[in-house]
Amino acid sequence: MLHNKVGCIQNPSAKNCTRILRLKKTLLIWKLQEKLLFCFQWTAEVFSFHKIRLSFSL
């Protein structure tokens, strides 16, 4: 938090500095969530595919 304030003081032109930082954080979290979701979907698809293959081989 202290680092962010120092950055804002150094850059007085950015009035909404804390708001921008908060936005960046939320965007980062969203991106991470998307990546996680994609990974889960991919693994689920792979597992279901293997299940189908197993059922056919039996």
pLDDT at 36 over 50: yes
pLDDT at 29 over 50: yes
Domains of the chain, residue spans: 2-57
Higher-scoring residue by pLDDT: 32, 16: 32
Spatial contact of 18 and 8, defined as CB atoms under 8 Å apart: yes
The torsion angles phi and psi of 16, rounded to 5 degrees, stand at -95, 45
Spatial contact of 17 and 7, defined as CB atoms under 8 Å apart: yes
pLDDT at 1 over 60: no
